[in-house]
Amino acid sequence: MSAPSMTLYYNAASPFVRKVLILLHETGQTGRVGLRPVTVTPVTPDSDLCHNNPSGKIPALCLADDNVIHDSRVILDYLDHQHVGSPLIPRDGSARWRRLTLASLADAVLDAAVLIRYETFLRPEEKRWDQWVDNQSEKISRSLAYFETEAVTELSANFDIASISLACALAYLDFRQPDLGWRSSYPRLANWYYGVSQRPSMLETTPTV
């Protein structure tokens, strides 16, 4: 087997990295990408990562020509053009904009969940802002309510960019906010997630830290 031609700066606990890993599994490209683990937080940047991606965020993908692309949305679009199977991001038309919009809403859930994690885990307790956490939690609730009532049926049709993004968001809520209990409020989403969580790509990328 040939050596990987690309390198992914990654951390297994990052849901944004996990989206990329799932796409690699789903499209048969895992052998093309080597993994370079990094540990970063808003207050502990990685110097090598920052040299290649000034934002200091993961994931970042170093291509065969040494160019580096980022963030997860750009990487997903790039990798989806590198395989011969059916695209996981529709190439054009209304389907493209709908699936990307759903993926963006799932990313909003992730953004809010990560900000809650930073506020409640990294920030010193005496400096934590309860209203900030409450507002982020409301964003999550509004978004999940939309998926429950307006999108769960179409999500069931294909495991594509929208489904991958939402699956990673729900998995991250389980991982970092296990007391949230989102399943009782969104039973249709819970049923959908139970099915997709058994996919090999999901099982192979489950965070263990």
Q: What single-letter amino acid sits at 18?
A: R
Q: Mean pLDDT score of the chain, rounded to an integer?
A: 94
* Residue 70 to residue 48: CA distance in whole angstroms: 14
* Residue 52 to residue 142: CA distance in whole angstroms: 36
pLDDT, one tens digit per residue, over 13-32 is 999 999 999 999 999 999 99
- Alpha-carbon torsion 91, 169, 56, 8, what sign? negative
* Residue 27 to residue 87: CA distance in whole angstroms: 9
Task: Kindly state whether residues 118 and 155 are assigned to the same domain.
Answer: yes
- Alpha-carbon torsion 167, 102, 131, 187, what sign? negative
pLDDT, one tens digit per residue, over 90-118 is 999 999 999 999 999 999 999 999 999 88
Task: Kindly state whether residues 108 and 22 are assigned to the same domain.
Answer: no
Does 207 fall in a domain? no
* Residue 31 to residue 79: CA distance in whole angstroms: 13
pLDDT, one tens digit per residue, over 27-54 is 999 999 999 999 887 778 889 899 989 9
CATH code of residue 31: 3.40.30.10
**Cβ within 8 Å of residue 160, ≥6 positions away:** 88, 89, 90, 99
Three-state DSSP class for 42? coil
Terminal CA-to-CA distance of the chain, rounded, Å?
29
pLDDT grade for 1, boundaries at 50, 70 and 90: low
Q: What is the mean pLDDT of residues 46-69?
A: 93
- The first and second tokens of residue 30, run together, are 């895992």
pLDDT grade for 209, boundaries at 50, 70 and 90: low
pLDDT, one tens digit per residue, over 77-93 is 999 999 999 999 999 99
Does 168 fall in a domain? yes
Q: What single-letter amino acid sits at 167?
A: A
Which residues form the domain of 71? Answer: 6-80
pLDDT, one tens digit per residue, over 120-150 is 877 788 888 889 889 999 999 999 999 999 9
Among candidate residues 80, 114, 138, the one where a domain is terminated? 80
* Residue 203 to residue 55: CA distance in whole angstroms: 30
